[in-house]
Amino acid sequence: MVSTESILAFAAMSLLVIVIPGPSVLFVVGRALAYGRRTALETVLGNVVGSYLLVIAVAWGLGALVESSAAVFTGVKLAGAAYLVHLGVQAFRHRRDMRVTDPDTEAPARARRGDLRTILDGIFVGVTNPKGIVFFAAVLPQFVNHSAGHLPLQMMVLGLVPITIGLITDTLWGLGASAARSWFARSDRRLSMVGGAGGLAMIGLGVTVAATGRAD
């Protein structure tokens, strides 16, 4: 099975990659600014589920296909980018609906998306994250013990390492951004501005993801 040395080495590699803010972090921050803490945490949950689906795809060979095929990779990337832009536009359009009765909680029900929809949004963005696709397809297989067999199971176990690190760090990012948002919530005008900023951040992220090419 997976050795302790491999797990520790992969954890170190994962930490180096995860601490550099990527699409997942920026998406969580944008959602926190636009909608508040609850939506941010639900987004984190969905995002880690989506990221682990990438791990499963890589473990069973689908991730390698996406990473090796320029057409498939571009299609997945553009789908994720378009969805990010869509979510950003929705947040910007509804920025004036951000009034809250308790500034330390979240946006009102009519401004927020449903809990399940929010988690599904996070899953979709996690699955189509180009950074995640490349990392899991190119790096994860290097840390398995081929002589031990059960390679898909080994990769699924190893994949829990960056998923756990990402869950912790993204949660911290989301809580930090939503805490900053709570100060803006004391003024309807300020809250409208920060909600719009969160929407613009997601639009900008979508455009950036679409414009980012493959490493090869």
Q: Where are the domains of the chain?
A: 4-211
Question: Which burial class, exposed, middle or buried, applies to 143 when counting CB atoms under 10 A from its CB (0-12, 13-18, 19+)?
Answer: buried
pTM, rounded to two decimals: 0.70
- The per-residue pLDDT for range 52-108, each reduced to its tens digit, is 998 998 888 775 565 566 776 677 778 777 877 877 787 677 666 555 444 444 555
pLDDT in tens, 108-159: 544 555 789 999 999 988 888 877 877 787 778 778 776 777 778 888 999 9
